[in-house]
Structure 1
Amino acid sequence: MTSIALATAADLPDLVDDDASFLTALRDRGVTATPVVWSDESVAWGDFDAVVVRSVWDYYRRPEEFAAWIDRVDDASPTVLNAPGTLRWNRHKFYLRDLADRGVDTLPTEYVERGTEATLSDILDRRGWDEVVVKPAVSAGAFETKRIARESVAAEQPWFDDLVADRDVLVQAFAEDITAGEWSLVFFDGDYSHSVVKRPEAGDFRVQEDHGGSVAAETPSEPLRDRAREVVEAVGGERGGDAPLYARVDGIERGRGECETDDVDFRLLEVELIEPELFFRVDADAGGRLAEALLDRL
């Protein structure tokens, strides 16, 4: 019988509720699927036929420990999905620069390396921006993320200095279109599965439910789906040709609903390949689709 470890965080030992249909789909197919805490050093990862990374939601707070875990589980030689190289690449948001080099439309971004002497005012002046979002290169859930307007840059510079002293940082042009909603398009083995739109609470820009955001199932246009598929294909090209087992493409559609067109202006915010919420709850068949895609690889 196939045995699969579903890597999760210590404070989510049974996975998140949203993963229940995926877990059930695996067990319905005769798989022994066991949630296992990634940071538990007593785990013998080689005892499993595969390790699927799911709700390791604390990894960004323990980046060095997580990097060591990737090496350890890779050396244990089970099938790891997504692949260890993909995990290493995707955990640091400078991967967006790689995708931009492959022609993916991303938000205009200044990549500030740790220890760099940089000022927000210089960045805004040079780029011609009036408002930015600043975030660490290793983060999740809007951790240490701020929206900063030009008139506030002097007051926020000490915070920015402390952030850059400690970690690599992204400074991105603020996109007003985020208030209309952020798309999350989910793909399994390169094939489109389902989508949601996440919207921020009035007056905020953060779409996460922990920050007052909301989630609704919506059907993207075919051109929008194509743009998201191009992102997944670019990831495959960057990572040696193979599509990731699962991918969530997060982005905004600029000018959404303003006109009918055969194309869309889609800007990638992130492609989530480590521990994304996959919103199984909006599609009763999604858990089964991922289970089938996984078993096809084993």
Structure 2
Amino acid sequence: MDIAVLTFAALPQLDAFDASLLPALAALGLDARPVVWDDPAMDWRTVRMALVRNTWDSHLRREAFVAWAEKVGRLTQLHNPAPVLRWNTHKGYLRELEGKGVPVTPTTWVPQGGALDVGELAGKHGWDAVVLKPAVSAGALGTHRFSRAEAPIATARLAELAQTGDVMVQPYLTAFEKEGERSYVFFDGVFSHAVRRPPTLPDAPRGFAEPTAFSPDNAAELRLAESVLEAVGRPLLYARVDVATDNAGQPRLQELEVTEPRLFLSLAPGAADRLARAIAAKL
């Protein structure tokens, strides 16, 4: 096998949005097959590359996942590399990027075991609503939205979340309800396509239901996405830069997804072929 395209046990045949990568790689003469990342029977020395794609239980076992990545990275080529995966699987990377000048959604960080009066924080910053988010999470798991009037409940929930890990407190961005997030997808540092995504919070109002591709017409926002990769300062085979509009009308980095992001290949003509060529260039 040339490429083990990594997924998890609950999704053995890859996500439908990204499954087109397999025939695109086959068209280049490469033998690529889905492989469950933690399959104990897998001998990683038998593949030329391990490509992290749909490992969507990794946040539930972060330390096991990054230890696995470090091991596999010594046996074969791994993308993205193990140091990137460790860095990106804790949202503390946002603090580092903010320190390099990237405009990030305002965040107050509460360490594991810590506490915070959410009502006092919201009042200080003039936030009408807040979002609580574990620093190790995916797919809005453990993420909650509260109005300022619900601050006592939010404070109690924050204390519960902080018992098991670091927690982020952010203003709720009302633009999500109409605009969603804009995801800018890059392969080997080169922009490929953009997708508009509805909010992941299940109780958030949404102006549209499904992700849709769009042609970026905001040069400043695309430049923001590019500047995020420049701030990372290391090669990334794939990256998804998620941008949202803050409550002052300015674009902000929400998250940089370089571990196991859905890349929405099926929504953008030629995207699977572009990624396949970027992969082949690494071999």
TM-score by length of 2: 0.92
Correspondence list, 1:1-298, <5 A: 3-76=2-75, 78-179=76-177, 180-200=179-199, 204-205=203-204, 213-221=209-217, 222-235=219-232, 237=233, 242-253=234-245, 265-298=250-283
Label 1:149 to 1:288 Cα distance change in 2 as closer, same or farther (>3 A).
Answer: same
Label 1:265 to 1:159 Cα distance change in 2 as closer, same or farther (>3 A).
Answer: closer
1:3-49 deviation line (CA, Å, top 9, x unaligned): 11111100111111222221111111111102111111221112111
Does the residue aligned with 1:17 lie in a helix, a strand or coil? coil
Q: Check the 8 A contact 1:7/1:37 in 2, yes or no.
A: yes
Superposition CA RMSD, Å:
2.2
Q: CA deviation at 1:159?
A: 2.0
Q: CA deviation at 1:67?
A: 2.3
Does the residue aligned with 2:13 lie in a helix, a strand or coil? coil
Q: CA deviation at 1:87?
A: 0.5
Deviates more, 1:128-137 or 1:287-296: 128-137
Whole-Å separation in 2 of the counterparts to 1:225 and 1:288: 22
Deviates more, 1:164-173 or 1:148-157: 148-157
Q: CA deviation at 1:171?
A: 0.6
1:122-166 deviation line (CA, Å, top 9, x unaligned): 432444433211110111111011111111011233222111011
Whole-Å separation in 1 of the counterparts to 2:237 and 2:199: 29
Whole-Å separation in 2 of the counterparts to 1:62 and 1:206: 31
Deviates more, 1:5-14 or 1:41-50: 41-50
Q: Check the 8 A contact 1:112/1:170 in 2, yes or no.
A: yes
1:235-275 deviation line (CA, Å, top 9, x unaligned): 2x2xxxx331110111114589xxxxxxx932000010011
TM-score by length of 1: 0.88
**Amino acid paired to 2:220:** P
Does the residue aligned with 2:10 lie in a helix, a strand or coil? coil
How many residues are matched? Answer: 280
Q: Check the 8 A contact 2:66/2:82 in 1, yes or no.
A: no
Q: Check the 8 A contact 1:185/1:194 in 2, yes or no.
A: yes
Whole-Å separation in 2 of the counterparts to 1:91 and 1:26: 27
**Amino acid paired to 1:278:** L
Deviates more, 1:124-133 or 1:140-149: 124-133
Whole-Å separation in 2 of the counterparts to 1:202 and 1:146: 8
Whole-Å separation in 2 of the counterparts to 1:49 and 1:41: 18
Label 1:94 to 1:50 Cα distance change in 2 as closer, same or farther (>3 A).
Answer: same
Label 1:173 to 1:232 Cα distance change in 2 as closer, same or farther (>3 A).
Answer: same
Label 1:116 to 1:283 Cα distance change in 2 as closer, same or farther (>3 A).
Answer: same
**Amino acid paired to 2:58:** Y
